[in-house]
């Protein structure tokens, strides 16, 4: 496939792996966090870790939008979905995310009208097509998906669609990074920055992170060679004693991002003083809510939302996985009580979640490459 195959080239990967190995100091352990769930998925889907020297470890960060949604918010959303006359529209990977009383899939099975959409615009269209129903869009995601929610809100307002609202769970990328770095027991060496988020916000917002915490950041695309090259950039910075922001994904990401996208977010949403993150606890100013001008489209105002804070299940160690403290399989319930079939923690739900990715793609410890199948 054009524009894809060239970023999955095995020979280029092997050559890049040699250069990474040359930069590594023998005996030193490198811990690099890929922030974005899309990167985690790429790493496992393509078996990227086979190309890394033994001293380089990739840690899977908090950038999977469904993984960081706390149970209380899922419960709130399900409570809205169960309201008579409501159609809840959500992205597909929200369906199995567990709340304290089950998931959207369970709510749907017991009568709630939950529908999968690919875009918030599809949800708005549902509201237009079915004026007798209250259509609520379950908005999740970082700055990547926030602009499409914002544009949909602007459109809904311009069209005056009375039966459409948004349950806003958008989050922002910089506050959780600071929360992770501010924790006492962090030993990360650098970051692979999220490509799609950065297409919106640009590379500039990471500069204080690189400077204040002395951690290299390489913003990367989502093909395996992109991620491998970002590892190379981070290791090279470490070898040269630099801590800067570098842009591996220059074919998509500019230094200043997409000002129009940032503008529509700011026009429709504002930072929330507090938002609970799955596993990471409450992080101030880390999420977005609708601006007062859009209050009529705010599902939190339109419906009775219980707003109960639900503690993460005690056995679940999602938080430690998201902070890079433990590897997925080191969690006490990984693969036993918590599986993709019956997830306890959200990291096990989405294919971008560290635990699900590891469970689905990597749970056999492939120490050496497999012998080639004879085909």
Partner 1 sequence: MTGPDVTGGPGPQGPQKGGKKRAFGHTVINLAHGSGGKATHSLVESVFLDAFANPILAPLNDGAVVSVAGRPVAFTTDSFVVSPIFFPGGCLGDLAVNGTVNDLAACGAQPLALSAGFVIEEGFAVADLERVVAAMAAAANAAGVPIVTGDTKVVERGKGDGCYVNTSGIGLVDERAVSISGAAARPGDRVIVSGPIGDHGTAVMLARGTLGITADIVSDTAALNGLVNVLLEAAGAAVHVLRDATRGGVATVLNEVAAASGVAVVLEETALPVRPEVAGVCELLGLDPLYVACEGRMVVVVAPEAAEAALGAMRAHPVGTGSVIIGEVVPEPAGLVLQNTGFGGARVVDMLVGDPLPRIC
Contacts with partner 1, residue ranges (CB under 8 A): 1, 4, 8-10, 13-14, 38, 41, 44-51, 65-66, 91-93, 95-96, 105-106, 108-110, 116, 118, 122, 140-142, 144-145, 196, 224-225, 329-330, 334-336, 340-342, 350-352, 358-375
Residue closer to partner 1 (CB basis): 225 or 347: 225
Using CA atoms, how far residue 357 sits from 230, 339, 346, in Å, is 20, 11, 12
What is the strand order of the sheet 190-193 is part of?
Answer: 56-63, 30-36, 190-193, 217-219, 245-247
* Three-state secondary structure readout of 57-117: EEEEEEECCCCCCCHHHHHHHHHHHCCCCEEEEECHHHCCCCECCECHHHHHHCCCEEEEC
Residue closer to partner 1 (CB basis): 92 or 162: 92
H/E segment holding residue 259 = helix 259-268
- Strands 164-170, 217-219: pairing is unpaired
Residue closer to partner 1 (CB basis): 89 or 238: 89
Minimum CB–partner distance for residue 242 and partner 1 (Å): 28
Minimum CB–partner distance for residue 321 and partner 1 (Å): 14
Residue closer to partner 1 (CB basis): 102 or 271: 102
Residue closer to partner 1 (CB basis): 53 or 335: 335
Minimum CB–partner distance for residue 255 and partner 1 (Å): 21
Largest CA distance in the chain: 67
Minimum CB–partner distance for residue 109 and partner 1 (Å): 4
H/E segment holding residue 300 = helix 299-302
Minimum CB–partner distance for residue 7 and partner 1 (Å): 9
DSSP summary character for residue 174: H
Minimum CB–partner distance for residue 360 and partner 1 (Å): 5
Contact 276, 73 (CB under 8 A): yes
H/E segment holding residue 224 = helix 224-240
Contact 57, 235 (CB under 8 A): no
Residue closer to partner 1 (CB basis): 158 or 364: 364
CA dihedral 308, 176, 58, 139 (to 10 degrees): 60
Minimum CB–partner distance for residue 254 and partner 1 (Å): 19
DSSP summary character for residue 360: H
Minimum CB–partner distance for residue 366 and partner 1 (Å): 5
Cβ-proximal residues to 138 (8 Å cutoff; 6+ apart), any chain: 77, 88, 89, 90, 91, 94, 167, 169
H/E segment holding residue 225 = helix 224-240
Residue closer to partner 1 (CB basis): 314 or 372: 372
Measuring CA to CA, which residue among 272, 276, 270, 271 is closest to residue 69?
A: 276
Residue closer to partner 1 (CB basis): 175 or 224: 224
Minimum CB–partner distance for residue 284 and partner 1 (Å): 25
Minimum CB–partner distance for residue 337 and partner 1 (Å): 11
End-to-end CA distance of the chain: 22
């Amino acid at each position: 496939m054009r524009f894809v195959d060239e970023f999955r080239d095995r020979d280029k990967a092997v050559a890049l792996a040699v250069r990474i190995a040359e930069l590594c100091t023998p005996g030193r352990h490198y811990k690099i966090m890929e922030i974005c769930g899309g990167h985690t998925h790429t790493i496992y889907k393509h078996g990227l870790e086979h190309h890394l020297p033994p001293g380089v470890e990739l840690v899977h960060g908090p950038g999977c939008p469904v993984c960081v949604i706390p149970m209380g918010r899922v419960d709130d959303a399900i409570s809205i979905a169960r309201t008579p006359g409501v159609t809840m529209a959500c992205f597909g990977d929200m369906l199995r995310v567990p709340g304290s009383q089950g998931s959207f899939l369970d709510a749907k099975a017991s009568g709630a009208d939950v529908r999968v959409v690919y875009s918030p615009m599809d949800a708005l269209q549902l509201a237009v097509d079915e004026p007798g129903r209250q259509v609520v869009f379950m908005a999740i995601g970082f700055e990547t998906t926030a602009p499409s929610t914002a544009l949909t809100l602007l459109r809904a307002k311009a069209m005056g669609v009375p039966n459409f609202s948004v349950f806003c769970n958008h989050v922002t990328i910089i506050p959780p990074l600071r929360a992770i770095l501010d924790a006492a027991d962090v030993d990360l060496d650098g970051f692979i920055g999220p490509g799609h988020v950065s297409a919106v916000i640009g590379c500039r917002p990471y500069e204080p992170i690189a400077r204040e915490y002395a951690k290299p950041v390489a913003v990367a695309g989502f093909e395996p060679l992109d991620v491998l090259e970002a590892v190379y950039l981070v290791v090279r910075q470490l070898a040269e004693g630099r801590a800067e922001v570098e842009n591996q994904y220059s074919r998509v990401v500019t230094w200043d991002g997409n000002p129009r996208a940032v503008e529509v977010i700011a026009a429709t949403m504002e930072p929330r003083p507090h938002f609970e993150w799955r596993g990471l606890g409450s992080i101030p100013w880390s999420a977005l809510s609708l601006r007062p001008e859009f209050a009529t489209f705010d599902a939190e105002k339109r419906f009775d939302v219980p707003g109960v804070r639900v503690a993460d299940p005690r056995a679940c160690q999602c938080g430690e996985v998201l902070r890079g403290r433990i590897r997925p399989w080191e969690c006490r319930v990984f693969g036993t009580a918590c599986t993709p079939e019956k997830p306890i923690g959200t990291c096990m739900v989405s294919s971008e979640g560290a635990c699900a990715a590891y469970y689905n793609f990597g749970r056999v410890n492939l120490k050496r490459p497999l012998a080639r199948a004879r085909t």
